[in-house]
Chain A
Amino acid sequence: MTTSLAEGSATLVNDFSIEVATVNGSGSQTANNVLMRTIFQMGVPVSGKNLFPSNIAGLPTWFQIRASAKGYVARKHDIDLMICMNPETAKEDVAKLKPGAICIFDEPLKLDSLRTDLIWYPVPFQKLVTASCPEPKLHKLIKNMIYVGVAAQLLGLDMAEAKSAITKQLKGKAKAAELNHVAAQAGYDWAAANMPEQHRLKIVRDDKTRGQIMLDGNSACALGAIFAGVTVVGWYPITPASTVVEYLIDYADELRKDPVTGRPTVAIVQMEDELASAGVILAAGWAGARSMTSTAGPGISLMSEFIGLGYFVEAPAVFVNVQRTGPSTGLPTRTQQGDIELCAKASHGDTHHVCLYPANMEECFRFTYDAFDLAERLQTPIFLMTDLDLGMQNWASKPFTFPGKPFDRGKVLGEKELAELKDWGRYKDLDGDAICARTLPGTPGGKGAYFTRGTGHNEYAYYSEKPDDWTKLVDRLRRKLETAKSLVPRPVVDGEDRRGILAFGSSDPAVFEARDLLRAAGKETSYLRLRAFPFTAEVDAWLEAREVVYVVEQNRDGQMTALLRDFYPQHAMRFRKVLHYDGTALNAQTLVDQISGYEK
Chain B
Amino acid sequence: MTTAAPSAPATNRLGLTKQDYVGSKSTLCPGCGHDAITAQIIAAAWEMGLEGSKVTKLSGIGCSSKSPAYFLNQSWGFNSVHGRAAAIATGTALANKTLKNILVSGDGDSMSIGMGQLVHLIRRNVPVVYILEDNGVYGLTKGQFSATADVGSTLKHGDVNEIPPIDPCSLAIELGCGFVARSFSGNPKQLNAILKAAMAHTGCAIIDVISPCVTFNNHDSSTKSYKNAKDHDYPVHDLGFVQYNEVEEVEIRAGDAREVAFPDGSVVSFRAVKDDYDPTNKLAAMQAIHASKAKQEFLTGILYLDPQAPTIHHFCPTVDEPLATLPQARTQPGPEALERIMQGLM
- Residues on A facing B (Cβ under 8 Å): 211-215, 223, 226-232, 234, 251, 255-256, 258, 261, 263-269, 271-273, 275-291, 305-306, 309, 313, 399-400, 402, 404, 406-407, 439-446, 448-455, 463
Instruction: Provide the bound-state CA to CA distance between A289 and B325, in Å.
Output: 7
A sample of 10 more A-B contacts (CB under 8 A), given A232-B94, A442-B99, is A276-B84, A277-B87, A278-B87, A283-B91, A286-B95, A287-B324, A399-B342, A445-B53, A452-B80, A455-B79
Give the residues in chain B near A283, CB-CB below 8 Å: 58, 78, 80, 87-92, 95
Cross-interface CB contact of A269 among B76, B89, B316, B341, cutoff 8 Å: B316
Question: Would you give the shortest CB distance from B50 to chain A, in whole angstroms?
Answer: 13
Please tell me if the beta carbons of B79 and A453 are within 8 angstroms of each other in the complex: yes
Cross-interface CB contact of B317 among A214, A232, A255, A263, cutoff 8 Å: A263
Please tell me if the beta carbons of B90 and A212 are within 8 angstroms of each other in the complex: no
Cross-interface CB contact of B78 among A213, A407, A452, cutoff 8 Å: A452
Instruction: Provide the bound-state CA to CA distance between A264 and B316, in Å.
Output: 8
Question: Would you give the shortest CB distance from A316 to chain B, in whole angstroms?
Answer: 11
Give the residues in chain B near A232, CB-CB below 8 Å: 91, 94-95, 323
Please tell me if the beta carbons of A287 and B341 are within 8 angstroms of each other in the complex: no
Give the residues in chain A near B316, CB-CB below 8 Å: 264, 267-269
Please tell me if the beta carbons of A449 and B94 are within 8 angstroms of each other in the complex: no
Instruction: Provide the bound-state CA to CA distance between A269 and B123, in Å.
Output: 13
The answer to whether B69 has its CB under 8 Å from any CB of chain A is: yes
Instruction: Provide the bound-state CA to CA distance between A374 and B56, in Å.
Output: 26
Please tell me if the beta carbons of A265 and B117 are within 8 angstroms of each other in the complex: no
Please tell me if the beta carbons of A231 and B326 are within 8 angstroms of each other in the complex: yes
Instruction: Provide the bound-state CA to CA distance between A277 and B87, in Å.
Output: 7
Question: Would you give the shortest CB distance from B339 to chain A, in whole angstroms?
Answer: 8
* Cβ-closest chain B residue relative to A260: B319
Question: Would you give the shortest CB distance from B346 to chain A, in whole angstroms?
Answer: 5
Give the residues in chain A near B120, CB-CB below 8 Å: 271-272, 276
Please tell me if the beta carbons of B77 and A452 are within 8 angstroms of each other in the complex: yes
The answer to whether B333 has its CB under 8 Å from any CB of chain A is: yes
Question: Would you give the shortest CB distance from A161 to chain B, in whole angstroms?
Answer: 13
- Residues on B facing A (Cβ under 8 Å): 52-54, 56-58, 61, 68-69, 73-81, 84, 86-92, 94-96, 98-99, 116-117, 119-120, 124, 312, 316-320, 322-326, 328, 330-335, 337-339, 341-342, 345-346
Please tell me if the beta carbons of A288 and B84 are within 8 angstroms of each other in the complex: no
Instruction: Provide the bound-state CA to CA distance between A451 and B73, in Å.
Output: 8
Give the residues in chain A near B99, CB-CB below 8 Å: 287, 441-442
Give the residues in chain B near A277, CB-CB below 8 Å: 87
Please tell me if the beta carbons of B87 and A276 are within 8 angstroms of each other in the complex: yes
Instruction: Provide the bound-state CA to CA distance between A545 and B209, in Å.
Output: 67
Please tell me if the beta carbons of B328 and A451 are within 8 angstroms of each other in the complex: no
Please tell me if the beta carbons of A276 and B90 are within 8 angstroms of each other in the complex: yes
Please tell me if the beta carbons of B76 and A284 are within 8 angstroms of each other in the complex: no
Give the residues in chain A near B54, CB-CB below 8 Å: 442
Give the residues in chain B near A305, CB-CB below 8 Å: 81, 84
Please tell me if the beta carbons of B342 and A284 are within 8 angstroms of each other in the complex: no
Give the residues in chain A near B86, CB-CB below 8 Å: 276, 279
Question: Would you give the shortest CB distance from A349 to chain B, in whole angstroms?
Answer: 13
Give the residues in chain B near A258, CB-CB below 8 Å: 319, 330
Residue of B73, B78, B124, B319 with most partner-chain A CB within 10 A? B78
Instruction: Provide the bound-state CA to CA distance between A261 and B317, in Å.
Output: 11
Given contacts A275-B117, A287-B96, A449-B75, contact A226 B346 (CB under 8 A): no
Please tell me if the beta carbons of A213 and B81 are within 8 angstroms of each other in the complex: no
Question: Would you give the shortest CB distance from B125 to chain A, in whole angstroms?
Answer: 12
Nearest first, the 10 closest Cβ-Cβ pairs linking A and B are A279-B87, A283-B91, A288-B324, A229-B331, A287-B95, A441-B76, A289-B95, A213-B345, A451-B77, A280-B91
* Cβ-closest chain A residue relative to B61: A454
Please tell me if the beta carbons of B323 and A265 are within 8 angstroms of each other in the complex: yes
Give the residues in chain B near A450, CB-CB below 8 Å: 76-77
- Name 5 interchain pairs, CB-CB below 8 A, sorted by A: A289-B95, A399-B345, A402-B335, A446-B52, A449-B74
Please tell me if the beta carbons of A407 and B332 are within 8 angstroms of each other in the complex: yes
Please tell me if the beta carbons of A284 and B77 are within 8 angstroms of each other in the complex: no
Instruction: Provide the bound-state CA to CA distance between A373 and B297, in Å.
Output: 55
Instruction: Provide the bound-state CA to CA distance between A291 and B88, in Å.
Output: 13
Given contacts A267-B323, A450-B76, A463-B69, contact A406 B84 (CB under 8 A): no
Question: Would you give the shortest CB distance from B83 to chain A, in whole angstroms?
Answer: 9
Instruction: Provide the bound-state CA to CA distance between A463 and B56, in Å.
Output: 18
Given contacts A269-B94, A282-B91, A288-B96, contact A400 B81 (CB under 8 A): no
* Cβ-closest chain A residue relative to B335: A402
Please tell me if the beta carbons of A284 and B94 are within 8 angstroms of each other in the complex: yes
Given contacts A283-B95, A452-B79, contact A265 B87 (CB under 8 A): no
Residue of B77, B86, B99 with most partner-chain A CB within 10 A? B77
Give the residues in chain A near B53, CB-CB below 8 Å: 441-446, 448-449
Given contacts A214-B345, A267-B94, A441-B92, contact A280 B80 (CB under 8 A): no
Question: Would you give the shortest CB distance from B9 to chain A, in whole angstroms?
Answer: 20
Instruction: Provide the bound-state CA to CA distance between A289 and B116, in Å.
Output: 25
Give the residues in chain B near A454, CB-CB below 8 Å: 61, 79-81
Give the residues in chain B near A289, CB-CB below 8 Å: 91, 94-96, 323-324
